[in-house]
Structure 1
């Protein structure tokens, strides 16, 4: 079976590209899926790339970089214009399809412009739901109002040259992406999802589509480590969260929760990966929360590589996922498979990942009192914390089992080919 992926990342191809020092990274969970699929199907992967690069073969997979233009020019342009590609790269996509002549096409995610091929091909194509721009755009103001959209952040020479960051640009970009996504999703015939949430939204956005279940894999280091750091009511309580410099990730709830916990005498250090002291969202949180923004009790770690992230998780006493909208956040799944006691907002698809009270605790998004209270609950109940951590690990090991995921995807591909 010959399969062509359109992917948001180069997957395993990142290893080859990293050797050329063009781009760094891990390829995320797509690398793991690439690894298990490459020996079962004739796999080809097309992906966006900001440098001119010919197709290449690496570790049993052929890769087709889609050149998206000069990276510096695009960065500068994006500061002044909202340029959201729809069918801009259509000819290149079709050329790749014509060259590969796949039996089936698999588009990973609806966020990129790959969906534009759907009205131009007769080859069966399936679309994986990762996030969803339409709902994300709708939930954008769940944490803050629009007052801070124009707040600017210029903390480096790079940002001074390219223009300071503001969330107004992000919101305008999302609004345009939403229009394109809604238009293109009407043409989707086959969908792979993994939560009740993505099943329900696709019944509206792609009403004529057939839905299949397909789980995600995690990065390798998370399978080979196990958390064992139960809080014993001594010393500083260490909580961990992976977040990002975004308007809708719920970090304001984290900062407010720290203050609430400190007011009742809990010695806490909340370690947060993905954002830094000079991140725009931190500046906005300070203004938004005022006196409720903590003066201490947190540590902003910035981006972490895979191994550093694992070590930080293992050193923490519990994990909190505070976002206002998610599908199946990998950061939560990674904490679960390590066996950590987890608290997550009931947002998007999180209720499909863990059972409240047994495999974690689910709380209302944007509620710092419930967040702080659930932390106290796990801090004071060792048996419950240990039990939900063990149950979470058991659930995640099954959900992210490599053989199970491989069988799911192969079964989906074969089913679609039989339909076609």
Structure 2
């Protein structure tokens, strides 16, 4: 059984096999874990194709029994399928242009295609700027002209891009006949967007580093707990609501800090600061909001983190926080749960399918409800066990959800079902 994967990003295994430098795992792709769990597998021959527009020519290599191809773009897909002769094509993700191109090439070659839903761009586009004032969501012609020369992160541009990605997703799923996902949220999306497709549930296998080693444990943080947010650079991740929740947390814990994985807002000094602020309006909004509420000193950015550094950042926090306005099955939540960390999350997308409220973590209702978020954070921080019981229950759930062997077997089973023509 020969399966060809199409993956948008260059996985660390592909970079290493093809001789590319810097094969780190800063991206946090859970596919590194799924790939490691699948190989070697006696019933499976696997070719992984990635695209990287920076490459001048196609690259190829082999590692641990897997063949890797890194292509500059979609132009080589037909030739790739002709050369590899796979039995089935598995496309990871729906919204990027290469997905549609590979879907078309596979259809022309008469090959069955399995589509994996990653996020659900339709819903992400709807909720992208929830809670952000209109003044920050609209930029004038001058700033759009500057953006064409020196790209920033104008929210109206970001919204337009998300809308386009949602349309691409709908086009790909509208032609899909086989779809796999993880949560009730994406099952419902598949029912709406891919009504002719068979849906196959299959959970994620996360990065191998999170299955071994030291686990989270409660610590004596006194009046200075650390809240850990895995992403805060665009509004869907809802940093602004966390900022609005911080004053209530700091009333009880004056030294509380929020550690945010990723780059800090760009600052090139006072002369360029007004221009940069206007080109990055969401960061400007969060900066102003934090200053207005007196919590600017609570925000600490970690810089980009590879898997090992990200793991350590979880362990050094006291509560994991996921307040997103929309999520499918967030990898960061699964990683925190695997480490036994107490989690507070919004009731968004597929999150309730991963985390049982009150038993494995705390889920608050509306993602923009800062008061409810603050109450949940304080409930964990003031618990006599520091959230240990929640974290232990979360870990037990995650070990089942993200069981590498079970998920690899499930995926191979999906391939076999499709190839045998036994789809329900």
- Shorter chain as normaliser: what TM range? 0.7 to 0.9
Of 107, 130, 136, the match for 2:124: 136
| Native 8 Å contact 1:4 1:102 kept in 2 | yes
SS of residue matched to 1:106: strand
1:191-206 aligned within 5 A: 191-206=179-194
Q: Answer yes or no: is the 8 Å Cα contact 1:242–1:273 preserved in 2.
A: yes
- Is there any run of 5+ residues in structure 1 with no aligned partner, and where? 69-88, 153-158
Give the 3-state SS of the residue equivalent to 2:6 in structure 1.
strand
Aligned partner of 2:412 in structure 1 is: 410
The aligned residue for residue 51 of structure 2 is 48
| Structure 1 residues 373 and 266: CA distance shift in structure 2, 3 A | farther
SS at match of 1:110: coil
Residue 216 in 1 paired to residue 220 in 2?
no
Q: 1:384 to 1:200 in 2, by over 3 A?
A: farther
**Stretch of structure 1 that moved more, 365-374 or 282-291:** 282-291
Q: Retained in 2: the 8 A contact 1:14–1:25?
A: no
- So what's the TM-score if we normalise by structure 2? 0.86
Q: Alignment partner of 2:158: what SS?
A: helix
Q: Deviations over 1:227-256 (max 9, x none)?
A: 343144624111111104212111101111
Of residues 264-273 and 372-381 in structure 1, the stretch that sits farther from structure 2 once superposed is 264-273
In the alignment, the residues of structure 2 paired with residue 146 and residue 3 of structure 1 have an alpha-carbon distance, to the nearest angstrom, of: 47
For 1:98 and 1:192, locate their aligned partners in 2 and report how far apart those are by CA, in whole Å. Answer: 25
Q: 2:70 matched to 1:65?
A: yes
The root-mean-square deviation of aligned C-alpha atoms, in Å, is 2.4
Distance 2:337 2:324 in 1: 16
Cα distance, 1:383 vs structure 2:
3.8
1:379 offset after TM fit, Å?
A: 1.4
Moved more, 230-239 or 28-37: 230-239
Give the CA deviation at 1:21: 2.9
Comparing 175-184 with 96-105, greater Cα deviation is found at 175-184
**Aligned ranges for residues 29-178 of structure 1 at < 5 Å?**
29-40=30-41, 41-49=44-52, 50-59=54-63, 60-68=65-73, 89=74, 91-113=75-97, 114-116=99-101, 117-118=103-104, 119-150=107-138, 162-178=150-166
Cα distance in 1 for residues equivalent to 2:167 and 2:89: 23
**Tell me, what secondary structure is at the counterpart of 1:45?**
strand
Q: Is the 8 A contact 2:224 2:253 kept in 1?
A: no
Deviation at 1:206, TM superposition (A): 0.4
Question: Partner of 2:277 in structure 1?
Answer: none
Distance 1:170 1:293 in 2: 29
Q: Alignment partner of 1:33: what SS?
A: helix
Query: 246, 251, 256: which is aligned to 1:263?
Result: 251
Distance 1:55 1:295 in 2: 46
Determine if contact 2:203/2:407 at 8 Å carries over to the other structure: yes
Aligned twin of 1:81: none
Asked if the contact 1:244/1:274 (under 8 Å) is kept, the reply is: yes
Q: Name whichever of 110-119 and 318-327 sits farther off.
A: 110-119
TM-score between both structures, scaled by the size of structure 1? 0.87
Query: What are the Cα deviations for residues 58-105 of structure 1, in whole angstroms up to 9, with x where unaligned?
Result: 21222222214xxxxxxxxxxxxxxxxxxxx3x422221122111111
CA distance, structure 2, for counterparts of residue 353 and residue 384 of structure 1:
21
- In structure 1, what is the Cα distance between the partners aligned to 2:94 and 2:287? 34
Check 1:269–1:234 CA distance in 2 against 1; reply closer, same or farther (3 A cut): same
The corresponding residue for 1:399 is: 401
Q: Secondary structure at the match of 1:302?
A: coil
* CA distance, structure 1, for counterparts of residue 148 and residue 121 of structure 2: 29
Is the partner of 2:302 in helix, strand or coil? strand
Q: Deviations over 1:350-401 (max 9, x none)?
A: 0110110001111121111111111111112134711110000011111111
The offset of 1:111, in angstroms, is 2.1
Q: Kindly indicate whether the alpha-carbon contact (under 8 Å) linking 1:238 and 1:269 is maintained by their aligned counterparts in 2.
A: yes
Asked whether the equivalents of residues 51 and 70 of structure 2 are also in contact (C-alpha less than 8 Å), the reply is yes
Q: How many pairs does the alignment contain?
A: 393
Between 1:273-282 and 1:163-172, the stretch displaced more is: 273-282
Q: C-alpha separation between the residues in 1 aligned to 2:109 and 2:247?
A: 55
1:54/1:64 contact within 8 Å kept: yes
Shift of 1:277: 3.6
Give, in whole Å, the separation in 1 of the partners of 2:266 and 2:327: 25
Distance 1:26 1:300 in 2: 15
Give the superposition deviation at 1:290: 6.2
Q: Measure the CA separation in 1 of the matches of 2:15 and 2:223.
A: 42
Alpha-carbon deviation of 1:164? 3.1
Pairing 1:221-370 to 2, within 5 Å after superposition: 221-232=209-220, 234-278=222-266, 280=280, 281-287=282-288, 291-292=292-293, 294-363=295-364, 364-370=366-372
Deviation at 1:23, TM superposition (A): 6.6
